[in-house]
Amino acid sequence: MRRALALLLFLAASPAMAEESCTDLIDRVQRATGAAVAERSADFARFEAGPQTSLTLSCAGADASSVGAQYRGETPPEAYDTVFVQAGHAITGIAPDRLRDATRQAREGAQAKRHSTIEVDGARVTCAFMRKEQGPLTLCAVIQRPGA
């Protein structure tokens, strides 16, 4: 499952480069969400964010980092949106209500056609839905667009 989210982030964002600011981004996501850091490297972090929910952070510089959330299930609870929006706001600064609306649109589109992307305030919210042998998986990421 981690590989699926990492692949989604990799395909949607520019290549990650280690930066000193990644520590700051990890700290911001942790403070905003209360999620526990489960794995950490120079340019990546994975957080445990609640039942069947995890977050990943890919650091690619001041204006190209991304944060994703995965939920092991078909219909994420409200807490999934909340933690994803908190993490996205911590990384992008985009207003939480704008991120929440974009996330819901992208997730609804993904459930209908497996993948959907919504542009919002200089970032891209992308969601994917897949059925795997281990069960359904819902993935969403907010990716900053460099120079946007």
125 CB burial (10 A radius; 0-12, 13-18, 19+): buried
Strand order in the sheet with 44-48: 36-40, 44-48, 53-58, 66-71, 135-144, 123-132, 115-120
Tell me if 125 sits within 8 A of 102, measured CB to CB.
yes
**pTM of this structure:** 0.82
Mean predicted confidence (pLDDT) in 129-138: 88
Q: How far is 113 from 93, CA to CA, in rounded Å? A: 29
- What's the confidence (pLDDT) of residue 132? 83
- What's the confidence (pLDDT) of residue 65? 86
pLDDT tens digits along 71-80? 998 888 989 9
